[in-house]
Chain A
């Protein structure tokens, strides 16, 4: 079956522009996670949804970052007034989240470059 998909795969934004990154999870997966990966580092948690409820947004670096999952499926990560330090790969993961099955599956990521 289809895996997690993300779009766009690459995004170049000028400093100060707003961007929106999309994630399509695996069909039927309840949990959805966003991570940020800087060059040479492991992914770091941003935010987490269970169905449409955002249960944890403690990893969002500033109030310029906003995520939503209004119908419990597709999610969008929005970054307002982008800064150079926002340049990174943004990864989305989904999980079935059933008893004994918390394995997370990752999409290919969106590479954001802020110039």
Chain B
């Protein structure tokens, strides 16, 4: 099956810093999603990005499907950005396969 690897596993930042999270996947996919899991466990949809670049406020994401990776950029980080960021992929409506996540801690 498809393997999803995320890096780094842990990231500690000061408020205001920028960061880049990476997701590599081992096979062609039709769908890639980025999630933020907040301290209460809710998975919040950040991006649905099988290819290309999208931006939403301080967050942006780029997926290069031909090279099997995606990047999530967080600019001017805030303490509320803390939590676990997951990348997940699938093929045309099937079950999502998740990476192990990147745990982000932002301190003031």
Contact = CB atoms under 8 A, between A and B. Distances in A.
A104 B41 contact: no
Contacts of A33: 95-96
Contacts of B31: 102-103
B43 interface: yes
A48 interface: yes
- If over half of A's interface residues share one DSSP class (helix, strand or loop), that class is named, otherwise mixed; here it is strand
Contacts of B45: 103, 105-106
Q: Which of B41, B86, B90: most chain A CB closer than 10 A?
A: B41
Contact of B43 (A59, A102, A106): A106
A95 B94 CA distance: 10
B92 to A, nearest CB: 7
A89 interface: yes
A42 interface: yes
Nearest to B98: A42
Given A41-B100, A42-B101, A108-B41, A102 B90 contact: yes
